[in-house]
Amino acid sequence: MVNYKVELHTGNILHAGTYNSIYIQLSGTKGESEWTYIKETACQDSVIEHQVACPSSLGLLEFVAIETKPYALLAYINDDWFCSKVVVTTPEGSTRHFPCYNWLSGSERLVYREASGKLIFNDTCPRALKEREEELKIRHQAYQWSIYADGLPNIIKAGSVSDLPDEVRFSFTKDSEFKFTFLNAMVELNLQGLSTNKEQWKNLEELSHIFNCRKTKVYEYIEKNWKKDEFFGYQFLNGINPMMINCCTKLPDNFPVTEDMVKASLSEKSLEEEMQDGNIFLVDYKRLQGIPANVINGKKHYLAAPLCLLYMTPEEKLMPIAIQLKQEPSEENPIFLPTDSEYDWLLAKTFVRNADFSEHELNSHLLRTHLLAEVFAVSTLRNLPMVHPIYKLLISHFRYTLQINTMARESLISKTGAITLNASVGGPGMLEFLKKAVAELTYSSLCIPEDITARGMDDIPNFYYRDDGLKLWDILHRFVHSVIGRYYTSDSDVQKDGELQNWIKDIFFNGFLSNASTGIPNSFSLVTELVKFLTMVIFTASVQHAAVNNGQFDFGGWMPNFPTALQLPPPTTKGQCTEKTMLQTFPDINTTAKGIATVYLLSKPSSDIVLLGDYKEEHFFEKLPIQKIKDFKQELEVFSAEIKVRNQRLELPYTYLEPQNIETSVAL
Ligand code: FE2
């Protein structure tokens, strides 16, 4: 007889343990063990050790099958068990790891593969191929595509969170915290009395007095500085939507800014010369053109589609120098200037900030991080078995994404959702705007090195989103390359990996609606193509999401800086606007309160956050990927220290891309 020492690891999440009886069977190249009953009870965050005796060696151990059944005395209780991994020490002295990370519900027999990453064409034994197929068959049932709306990426089929498989749901910790927070965001912010108050703001002191809880340092800075042109310009680089600004070498035909208009804002050179020198920048919200604005509190609200011209001064301050609120130039669409009256100029900037809210929440945040991460997650779950190295690499980057998106569809963008009801871009215009954003989405805009260059933003000073983002892209790219190169040793490996090809086809079809003009590939031929795409996937789910998500309360908490809705139309003449006009333009008190509670909730990390580089689930056990993960983490730590030093000299530190603030997945 020979003995196999088996360790069964129960995960460290609430209710992971079970009273169910556990049975296990080991399989190797020379045979299978008997089904063995595990006497011990599995408790949360514990390891059960057990011996499995066999008449002779099983050869190279490849599979572990596990079954659970309700315990005889407690047959009326079927108690789910979260098994994280099984570790087997063979009689020959080697250790074999079997990652599981599954809830076993007592009704099925599950088979887990030994942890070495394997591509399908290297999996030669018939049972291995059969297990791959079986696993994907089960996942195809559990994770199905569904159409959310025509022209938008497809989503996971789940009417509500309870329809999602347990493996992709929040831990009980996050679940209870998030529910608590959502219901009580208004209470935490001491806003509960305001949710039905449909009055307008009488003055901004009142606003400051009422919204006085949980202010962050950045919030306080913004409350003091929101009116300043310098801060207005700064936000296009290092606020929560650094995605809109482009270098401008030629004015658009529909934005007839003249030399005279901007003379007072420029130093010594002409506008034309400054454009040639790369010092003029444009932010154009043309996607908002024609989008119908919402009705809030029974009143029609307004959306502008502004164009804003900015100038990088010799003192390296990015200053707005001209704003036109609608796309079509006309006499009723004046070009506002910093030399106009205080409130004319401030109101013009406020319409730009509201347009930025629409672009930020729906395009930069929802579409370009949340919805795309969901597409990548669903395709991974449907097409790649656990033993596939890309599954191992990616799965942690989809933690909680399906649940947070399902919740967002229920509570933010549903008919009664917070954005639907409280934003100018909410209501009927929301889907129309999203469809435009999808139609204009490109692969290269998701890859920060290409995006920055395409926008002509390589050289502008003080662009910390760019500096930190490019560095993180580089770190990620090298990490992905080193891990993936271990498995794909030639381009032909990429070409003959049918599972990988199905994965990218599913993304192309369901995520990008087979639109070849996006530049998204529908197959891979080269290792380099694959590495770049995987880098983009991880970057989108972690770094990019952190850049557009984490500062929502910082930058949006002080409503005048980031109003969700505006209730007077864009002005058609100059010289009419007063402080009263501003206050009448801002959203009502209840709309303001709900907007603030929403950005507060969406910026609040949970206590079970997993940071970029922390691969808490161990899917890799081979030496090389484990070493590369360590190196990756170390590089992130070094970079974190560099950012901290840089930030010491900044009036407003840019912290969103400090690796210690980057969650590994879209989970919030
Ligand atoms: Fe988010």
pLDDT band of 329, cuts 50, 70, 90? very high
Query: Is residue 242 within 8 Å of residue 466, measured between CB atoms?
Result: yes
pLDDT for 166 equals: 87
Give the Å distance between the CA of 420 and the centre of ligand 1: 16
352 vs 366: CA distance, rounded Å: 20
Nearest CA to 384 out of 58, 140, 174, 163 is that of 140
Tell me which residue has tokens 């990370």: 101
pLDDT for 183 equals: 61
**Largest distance between two CA atoms of the chain:** 95
pLDDT for 191 equals: 82
Give the Å distance between the CA of 550 and the centre of ligand 1: 8
Give the Å distance between the CA of 79 and the centre of ligand 1: 33
Higher pLDDT, 576 or 176: 576
Give the Å distance between the CA of 371 and the centre of ligand 1: 10
Q: What's the gap between Cα 202 and its chain centre?
A: 37
Does the pLDDT value for residue 108 go beyond 90? no
Percent of the chain whose pLDDT exceeds 70: 97
* Mean pLDDT to the nearest integer, 154-163: 94
Task: Specify which residues 323 forms β-bridges with.
Answer: 308, 336
User: Hey, is 87 helix, strand or coil?
Assistant: strand
pLDDT for 172 equals: 66
* Mean pLDDT to the nearest integer, 402-428: 92
Query: Is residue 184 within 8 Å of residue 25, measured between CB atoms?
Result: no
Give the Å distance between the CA of 541 and the centre of ligand 1: 10
Give the Å distance between the CA of 470 and the centre of ligand 1: 21
Q: Encode pLDDT of 210-243 as tens digits.
A: 888 889 999 999 999 999 999 999 999 999 999 9
Give the Å distance between the CA of 548 and the centre of ligand 1: 8
Residue 399, amino acid: R
Q: How many CA atoms lie within 13 A of 110 on its CB side?
A: 26
Residue 413 CB neighbours (<10 A): 20
Give the Å distance between the CA of 450 and the centre of ligand 1: 23
Give the Å distance between the CA of 413 and the centre of ligand 1: 13
pLDDT for 73 equals: 64
Give the Å distance between the CA of 606 and the centre of ligand 1: 13
Please give the span between the terminal C-alpha atoms of the chain, in angstroms, as a whole number.
53
Give the Å distance between the CA of 241 and the centre of ligand 1: 13
Give the Å distance between the CA of 357 and the centre of ligand 1: 14
**What are the structure tokens assigned to 242, written together?**
């650094």
Give the Å distance between the CA of 412 and the centre of ligand 1: 11
Q: What is the mean pLDDT of the chain?
A: 95
Nearest CA to 332 out of 340, 344, 343, 324 is that of 324
Give the Å distance between the CA of 358 and the centre of ligand 1: 14
Give the Å distance between the CA of 200 and the centre of ligand 1: 29
Give the Å distance between the CA of 206 and the centre of ligand 1: 30
pLDDT for 78 equals: 67
pLDDT band of 575, cuts 50, 70, 90? very high
**What are the structure tokens assigned to 181, written together?**
């927070």
**What are the structure tokens assigned to 654, written together?**
């840019």
Higher pLDDT, 88 or 418: 88
Residue 94 CB neighbours (<10 A): 10
Give the Å distance between the CA of 587 and the centre of ligand 1: 23
Query: Is residue 262 within 8 Å of residue 309, measured between CB atoms?
Result: yes
* Measured CA distances, 292 to 323, 429, 434 (Å): 21, 5, 13
Following DSSP, what letter does each residue of 415-476 receive, concatenated? TT-HHHHHSTT-THHHHHHHHHHHHT--TGGGSHHHHHHHTT-SS-TT-HHHHHHHHHHHHH
- Pairing status of strand 318-324 against strand 335-336: antiparallel
Give the Å distance between the CA of 395 and the centre of ligand 1: 18
Give the Å distance between the CA of 534 and the centre of ligand 1: 20
**What are the structure tokens assigned to 590, written together?**
């209840």
Give the Å distance between the CA of 18 and the centre of ligand 1: 33
Give the Å distance between the CA of 365 and the centre of ligand 1: 6
pLDDT for 77 equals: 64
Query: Is residue 13 within 8 Å of residue 79, measured between CB atoms?
Result: no
* Measured CA distances, 339 to 230, 324, 344, 346 (Å): 15, 14, 10, 11
Give the Å distance between the CA of 545 and the centre of ligand 1: 6
Does the pLDDT value for residue 90 go beyond 60? yes
Q: Encode pLDDT of 172-212 as tens digits.
A: 666 666 664 656 788 788 887 888 899 999 999 999 998 88
Does the pLDDT value for residue 48 go beyond 90? yes
Give the Å distance between the CA of 599 and the centre of ligand 1: 10
User: Hey, is 322 helix, strand or coil?
Assistant: strand
Give the Å distance between the CA of 312 and the centre of ligand 1: 31
DSSP at 371: I
H or E segment at 638?
A: helix 623-648
Q: Encode pLDDT of 293-312 as tens digits.
A: 999 999 999 999 999 999 99
* Stated pTM of the model: 0.97
Give the Å distance between the CA of 378 and the centre of ligand 1: 18
DSSP at 649: T
pLDDT for 178 equals: 67
pLDDT band of 69, cuts 50, 70, 90? confident
pLDDT band of 107, cuts 50, 70, 90? confident
User: Hey, is 257 helix, strand or coil?
Assistant: coil
* Mean pLDDT to the nearest integer, 120-143: 95
Q: What's the gap between Cα 667 and its chain centre?
A: 7
Residues whose CB falls within 8 Å of the CB of residue 131, separated by 6 or more in sequence, listed in order: 63, 111, 113, 385
Give the Å distance between the CA of 631 and the centre of ligand 1: 28
92 vs 89: CA distance, rounded Å: 8
Superfamily of domain 2-115 in CATH is PLAT/LH2 domain (2.60.60.20)
Task: Specify which residues 102 forms β-bridges with.
Answer: 83
Query: Is residue 308 within 8 Å of residue 353, measured between CB atoms?
Result: no
Q: Where are the domains of the chain?
A: 2-115
Residues whose CB falls within 8 Å of the CB of residue 122, separated by 6 or more in sequence, listed in order: none
320 vs 44: CA distance, rounded Å: 57
Give the Å distance between the CA of 549 and the centre of ligand 1: 5
182 vs 523: CA distance, rounded Å: 41
Give the Å distance between the CA of 34 and the centre of ligand 1: 48
Nearest CA to 84 out of 172, 7, 5, 164 is that of 7
Q: Encode pLDDT of 473-508 as tens digits.
A: 999 999 999 999 999 999 999 999 999 999 999 999
Q: Encode pLDDT of 342-398 as tens digits.
A: 999 999 999 999 999 999 999 999 999 999 999 999 999 999 999 999 999 999 999
Residue 546, amino acid: A
pLDDT for 105 equals: 84
**What are the structure tokens assigned to 88, written together?**
């087997």
Give the Å distance between the CA of 552 and the centre of ligand 1: 9
**What are the structure tokens assigned to 466, written together?**
């760019």
pLDDT band of 635, cuts 50, 70, 90? very high
Give the Å distance between the CA of 362 and the centre of ligand 1: 11
Residue 403 CB neighbours (<10 A): 20
